[in-house]
Amino acid sequence: MPFELLRYQMLLPAFGLVVARVAGLVLATPMFSSKQIPLPIKIWLIATLSLMAFPVVQPHLPTDVTIGMAATGMVGELMIGYLLGFAAAIVFYSAQTGGKIISHQAGMALGTVFNPIFDEESTVLDQVWFFTVTAVFLLARGHIAVIMVLLSSFENVPPLLASFDGSVGEFLIAMMSDMFELAIRLAGPTILALFVTSLLMGFLTKTMPQLNILSVGFSLKIGAALFVAAITIGFAEDMILNAIDHSLDQAGAFFETSATALIRGGADAG
């Protein structure tokens, strides 16, 4: 019995590294990082995921880790988990950005409501797009794909061996570029419809000056925006799924590149 307790005590520093990486993932995901979720629930979620992942990733964990080494390495592990969580959250940020673009162009930005997920004020279209993406993400088992990428990250980049160089900046730039590209693609049809609506209202103003365009133009733009946005949501499933796959693939490729750099660095040192 004393030897068993000693064995568990020796595993605690390695388990702390797993907890740090899982915590970074949870804190970067909008669904779990919201202030509306009580802190004890977040702690229990991190502890549960860490306990489930620990037996799987244990072969890739260092065996001679001291408490001091673990405390220092937990910062790097937290960053790795945060990068993975950021890649998984790209589609959610894209949906929110696309909704904001449409709302500003349609004049709906004046009517905002509190979004408990992002802890900020947002328009109705922001939340419609966000919950649409959330439903597609869960139905496509995106949460399971994120866990798989997390587990594979321990194999590609073992704890205490992560190096943050220029590749991290390139990864973040690529993620931001994908986020804005998806936001424009989601909002594009509605923006085009609003542009045509504005041209139509300008034509009516010139041809029928007696028409009070201000009284009907506002409602017309909102109606056009809601109509086209509803149609776009119905056909956006494939686009959202491709974006989820692409962001997670980029995260996996980033960890694989980091693993290649580690192997190359070890060979050069040898």
If we measure between CA atoms, which residue out of 243, 237, 233 comes closest to residue 92?
243
pLDDT band at 268 (very low <50, low <70, confident <90, very high): very low
pLDDT for 155 equals 81
Pick from 68-72, 83-87, 203-207 the range whose average pLDDT is largest: 83-87
Length of the chain: 270
Kindly state the tokens that stand for 53: 């992942």
Name the more confident of 71 and 48: 48
Q: How far apart are CA 228 and CA 135, in angstroms?
A: 20
In tens, the pLDDT along 166-176 reads: 677 888 888 88
Kindly state the tokens that stand for 243: 């974006």
Query: Which residue carries 């390139």 as its tokens?
Result: 170
DSSP H/E element including 250: helix 237-269
Q: Containing domain of residue 124, as a range?
A: 2-269
pLDDT for 163 beyond 80: no
CB 11 within 8 A of CB 31: no
Q: How many domains does the chain have?
A: 1
In tens, the pLDDT along 189-209 reads: 888 988 888 888 878 777 777
* Exposed / middle / buried, residue 192 (Cβ in 10 Å: 0-12, 13-18, 19+): exposed
Q: At how many degrees (to 10) do helices 90-106 and 124-139 cross? A: 150
CA distances to 115, 230, 232, 248, 253 from 128, in Å: 11, 10, 12, 23, 31
Kindly state the tokens that stand for 85: 């969580």
- If you average pLDDT over residues 94-117, what whole number do you get? 76
Name every residue whose Cβ is closer than 8 Å to that of residue 108 and which is 6 or more positions away in sequence: 102, 123, 124, 125, 222, 225
pLDDT band at 263 (very low <50, low <70, confident <90, very high): very low
From start to end of the chain, where are the E strands? 112-115, 120-123
Give the side-chain half-sphere CA count within 13 A for 214.
0
Q: At how many degrees (to 10) do helices 67-88 and 237-269 cross? A: 150
CA distances to 114, 152, 171, 221 from 125, in Å: 12, 36, 29, 14
In the chain, the percentage of residues whose pLDDT exceeds 90 is: 0
Name every residue whose Cβ is closer than 8 Å to that of residue 112 and which is 6 or more positions away in sequence: 121, 122, 123
CB 171 within 8 A of CB 270: no
